Amino acid sequence: QLHLVESGGGLVQPGGSLRLSCAASGTTLDDYTIGWFRQAPGKAREGVSCIDRTEQILYYADSVKGRFTISRDNAKNMAYLEMNDLQPEDTAVYYCAADLLSRPIAHLMCDAQLIEYTYWGQGVQVTVSG
Protein backbone atom coordinates (compact mmCIF):
# COMPACT_ATOMS: atom_id res chain seq x y z
CA GLN A 1 0.00 0.00 0.00
CA LEU A 2 2.94 2.31 0.69
CA HIS A 3 4.85 3.44 -2.42
CA LEU A 4 8.31 5.01 -2.22
CA VAL A 5 10.24 6.89 -4.91
CA GLU A 6 13.82 8.13 -4.52
CA SER A 7 15.34 11.10 -6.30
CA GLY A 8 18.42 13.29 -6.12
CA GLY A 9 21.14 10.89 -7.19
CA GLY A 10 23.79 11.60 -9.75
CA LEU A 11 27.49 11.98 -10.45
CA VAL A 12 29.69 14.02 -8.12
CA GLN A 13 33.40 14.46 -7.56
CA PRO A 14 35.07 13.32 -4.34
CA GLY A 15 34.32 15.79 -1.59
CA GLY A 16 31.03 16.78 -3.13
CA SER A 17 27.53 16.57 -1.70
CA LEU A 18 24.15 15.20 -2.67
CA ARG A 19 20.77 15.18 -1.02
CA LEU A 20 18.58 12.18 -1.67
CA SER A 21 14.83 12.46 -1.28
CA CYS A 22 12.26 9.75 -0.66
CA ALA A 23 8.67 10.59 -1.51
CA ALA A 24 5.93 8.40 -0.07
CA SER A 25 2.42 7.90 -1.33
CA GLY A 26 -0.49 5.60 -0.61
CA THR A 27 -0.39 6.21 3.12
CA THR A 28 1.28 8.45 5.67
CA LEU A 29 4.85 7.81 6.81
CA ASP A 30 4.05 8.86 10.37
CA ASP A 31 4.18 5.37 11.87
CA TYR A 32 7.04 3.98 9.80
CA THR A 33 10.69 3.51 10.54
CA ILE A 34 12.64 4.71 7.49
CA GLY A 35 15.94 3.34 6.29
CA TRP A 36 18.44 4.24 3.62
CA PHE A 37 20.34 1.27 2.20
CA ARG A 38 22.91 0.98 -0.53
CA GLN A 39 24.32 -1.74 -2.71
CA ALA A 40 27.46 -1.58 -4.81
CA PRO A 41 28.15 -4.06 -7.63
CA GLY A 42 29.38 -7.35 -6.24
CA LYS A 43 28.77 -6.31 -2.65
CA ALA A 44 26.03 -7.07 -0.16
CA ARG A 45 23.36 -4.54 0.61
CA GLU A 46 24.23 -2.47 3.65
CA GLY A 47 22.28 -0.22 5.93
CA VAL A 48 23.46 3.38 5.68
CA SER A 49 21.17 5.25 8.03
CA CYS A 50 17.80 4.67 9.67
CA ILE A 51 15.38 6.76 11.69
CA ASP A 52 12.32 5.83 13.72
CA ARG A 53 8.94 7.50 13.58
CA THR A 54 9.68 9.88 16.46
CA GLU A 55 13.16 10.85 15.18
CA GLN A 56 14.51 9.79 18.59
CA ILE A 57 16.18 6.57 17.46
CA LEU A 58 18.89 6.97 14.83
CA TYR A 59 21.54 4.80 13.26
CA TYR A 60 24.49 5.60 11.04
CA ALA A 61 26.93 3.14 9.57
CA ASP A 62 30.46 3.77 10.80
CA SER A 63 31.58 4.46 7.25
CA VAL A 64 29.22 7.45 6.90
CA LYS A 65 29.06 8.75 10.46
CA GLY A 66 29.81 12.46 10.54
CA ARG A 67 29.29 12.83 6.79
CA PHE A 68 25.67 11.78 6.22
CA THR A 69 22.51 13.06 7.90
CA ILE A 70 19.12 11.37 7.81
CA SER A 71 15.94 13.37 8.32
CA ARG A 72 12.23 13.13 7.76
CA ASP A 73 9.29 15.47 7.31
CA ASN A 74 6.12 13.61 8.16
CA ALA A 75 3.94 16.57 7.19
CA LYS A 76 5.32 16.34 3.65
CA ASN A 77 5.47 12.54 3.67
CA MET A 78 9.16 12.77 2.80
CA ALA A 79 12.48 11.45 4.01
CA TYR A 80 15.96 12.65 3.13
CA LEU A 81 19.58 11.62 3.21
CA GLU A 82 22.10 14.45 3.06
CA MET A 83 25.47 13.15 1.96
CA ASN A 84 28.56 15.30 2.41
CA ASP A 85 32.24 14.75 1.66
CA LEU A 86 31.36 11.92 -0.69
CA GLN A 87 34.07 9.41 -1.51
CA PRO A 88 34.42 6.84 -4.30
CA GLU A 89 33.54 4.05 -1.88
CA ASP A 90 30.12 5.67 -1.47
CA THR A 91 29.30 4.78 -5.06
CA ALA A 92 26.24 2.53 -5.05
CA VAL A 93 22.55 2.31 -5.76
CA TYR A 94 20.76 3.88 -2.81
CA TYR A 95 17.35 2.67 -1.69
CA CYS A 96 14.75 4.19 0.58
CA ALA A 97 12.80 1.68 2.65
CA ALA A 98 10.09 1.74 5.30
CA ASP A 99 8.62 -0.67 7.79
CA LEU A 100 6.28 -0.71 10.77
CA LEU A 101 8.89 -2.00 13.20
CA SER A 102 7.32 -2.94 16.51
CA ARG A 103 10.33 -1.88 18.58
CA PRO A 104 13.12 -0.09 16.72
CA ILE A 105 16.57 -0.64 18.18
CA ALA A 106 19.34 1.60 16.92
CA HIS A 107 22.03 -1.02 16.40
CA LEU A 108 19.62 -3.52 14.80
CA MET A 109 17.10 -1.45 12.84
CA CYS A 110 19.53 -0.83 9.96
CA ASP A 111 21.09 -4.29 9.80
CA ALA A 112 20.42 -5.31 6.20
CA GLN A 113 21.25 -8.94 6.98
CA LEU A 114 18.77 -9.10 9.87
CA ILE A 115 15.87 -6.75 9.20
CA GLU A 116 13.72 -7.18 6.11
CA TYR A 117 11.94 -3.92 5.38
CA THR A 118 8.55 -4.30 3.77
CA TYR A 119 8.45 -1.33 1.39
CA TRP A 120 11.22 -0.25 -0.98
CA GLY A 121 11.82 2.43 -3.53
CA GLN A 122 13.22 1.72 -6.98
CA GLY A 123 16.72 2.87 -6.12
CA VAL A 124 18.82 5.77 -7.34
CA GLN A 125 22.41 5.72 -8.58
CA VAL A 126 25.06 7.70 -6.74
CA THR A 127 28.44 7.79 -8.43
CA VAL A 128 31.46 9.50 -6.87
CA SER A 129 34.34 9.83 -9.31
CA GLY A 130 36.93 12.33 -10.42
End-to-end CA distance of the chain: 40
Mean pLDDT, the chain, rounded, equals 95
pLDDT at 106: 85
Residue 24 has pLDDT above 90, yes or no: yes
User: Between the CA of residue 17 and those of 43, 66, 75, what are the distances in Å?
Assistant: 23, 13, 25
**Res. 102 pLDDT band, cuts 50 70 90:** confident
Q: CA 37 → CA 30, 34, 75, 130, distances in Å?
A: 20, 10, 23, 24
DSSP per position, 75-107: GGTEEEEEE-S--GGG-EEEEEEEE--SS--TT
pLDDT digits (tens, 9 = 90+) for 25-76: 999 999 999 999 999 999 999 999 999 999 999 999 999 999 999 999 999 9
pLDDT surpasses 90 at 112 = no
Q: Other C-beta atoms within 10 Å of 49: how many?
A: 24
